[in-house]
Structure 1
Amino acid sequence: MIKLKAMFISAMVFLVASCSAPDVDYYKGTEPEFNFKRFFSGELKAYGVVQDHKGELTRKLVVDMQASWQGNQGVIDEQFVYDDGETQTRTWYITLNDDGSISGTASDVVGEAKGDSNGSVFHWTYSVELPYNDSTLVVNFDDWMYLVTQSRLINRTAIDKFGVEVGEVTLVIEKIE
């Protein structure tokens, strides 16, 4: 019985460890080099889809963005338009920190978003308060941005509640040249 418990615990530890996401350091040396400030400057446009926990498409969206900087302080205005006609606005206030990390706040973000980049990848996490029925619901966002070219990236966001993935957003973000 003790041997069976030990095998079960070992299997669970292996399973949990194998499901963890890679660290941004894994992407060291990948090209093109992701520079958050350089990419998120000027006008950008994003096209995306939202999927539920089963992977089924629930919405499509287009996002117009305008980003500007004063030193290491940035503002990114996002204007969302969903295929059902709903619109949404989010304004990010970004700080490029001395240690190379990036932090950000927005009116619907609970606390502070925190992120790092390495090579061609940027990763950050944050919690968002979303409208839900006649109230709101706080969910966690786990954003992974993969720079494909200096003017285009793919953003995958896992959305979870209580550690269970409840949805996913996939965006292609392009700089408007």
Structure 2
Amino acid sequence: MNAKNLTRSVRCLTLAAATALLAACAGPQVDDYARETPKLVLREYFNGPMTAHGVFTDRSGKVARRFTVRMVGRWSGNEGVLEEDFFYSDGKTERRVWRLTDLGDGRYTGRADDVLGEAQGRAAGNALRWQYTLKLPVDGKVYEVQFDDWMYLMDDKVMLNKAVMSKFGIRLGEVTLAFHKP
């Protein structure tokens, strides 16, 4: 590689790194919600039975899938289990069991059988940002897709959730959920 090509490569890498850094800083941060109330404490909200209703919208914004989730959360100290049973409008069902850990200071981790590695979450005020990679089966293949979840506690019974699903940084669609506790 000659000096001219090396210089061009370094400039491209620098531009790509700067663009990535700016993109990471451009979006909301969980601390932006630190003064919002009511305060979201996962051990309190995800404890006991609850139901969620949601939709998956594709890149164009079209609703591609509707679903209901019945959940039960249980905590023992800083360790929690959240059992989720999904019922889709096309008749398919799915189950996910999260094993959650409250690390303190608004930080959480989670594991589930269809999650690659460990989910990371951070809460401040009424908001939680939850990020993970899901192993998503589609037509006999399994794709690893990234989820960037934002949850907002509205009151002691209702929480809203908006998640962006992406692959290689390309937005595939969004999941919107409304959680409700009895």
> For 1:26, what is the secondary structure of its paired residue?
helix
The AA in structure 1 aligned to 2:85 is Q
The AA in structure 2 aligned to 1:101 is R
> For 1:157, what is the secondary structure of its paired residue?
strand
Structure 1 Cα separation of the partners of residues 109 and 25 of structure 2: 26
Mapped pair 1:125 → 2:150: no
The equivalent residue for 1:147 is 153
One of 39, 43, 63 as aligned partner of 2:45: 39
Measured on the aligned residues, the alpha-carbon RMSD in Å equals 2.0
Structure 2 Cα separation of the partners of residues 22 and 167 of structure 1: 19
Is the Cα–Cα contact under 8 Å of residues 79 and 99 in structure 2 kept in the other structure? yes
The equivalent residue for 1:101 is 107
> For 2:32, what is the secondary structure of its paired residue?
helix
Identity between Structure 1 and Structure 2 (%): 39
One of 164, 167, 170 as aligned partner of 2:173: 167
Structure 2 Cα separation of the partners of residues 65 and 18 of structure 1: 32
Mapped pair 1:26 → 2:2: no
Offset of 1:174 from its aligned partner? 0.7
The equivalent residue for 2:6 is none
TM-score, structure 2 as length reference: 0.86
TM alignment of 1:64-79, pairs within 5 A: 64-79=70-85
The AA in structure 1 aligned to 2:94 is Q
The AA in structure 2 aligned to 1:59 is R
The equivalent residue for 1:58 is 64
Structure 1 Cα separation of the partners of residues 90 and 25 of structure 2: 34
One of 136, 143, 150 as aligned partner of 1:137: 143
Comparing 125-134 with 88-97, greater Cα deviation is found at 125-134
Structure 1 Cα separation of the partners of residues 135 and 24 of structure 2: 30
Q: Deviations over 1:113-167 (max 9, x none)?
A: 0010001101110000011222200000000001111110100010000001101
Comparing 137-146 with 127-136, greater Cα deviation is found at 127-136
CA gap of 1:47–1:16, structure 2 versus 1, over 3 A, is same
Structure 2 Cα separation of the partners of residues 17 and 126 of structure 1: 19
Structure 1 Cα separation of the partners of residues 143 and 79 of structure 2: 29
**Where do 5+ consecutive residues of structure 1 fail to align?**
none
CA gap of 1:122–1:149, structure 2 versus 1, over 3 A, is same
Is the Cα–Cα contact under 8 Å of residues 106 and 124 in structure 2 kept in the other structure? no
> For 2:154, what is the secondary structure of its paired residue?
strand
Comparing 120-129 with 14-23, greater Cα deviation is found at 14-23
The AA in structure 2 aligned to 1:31 is T
The AA in structure 2 aligned to 1:65 is M
Question: What is the aligned length?
Answer: 167
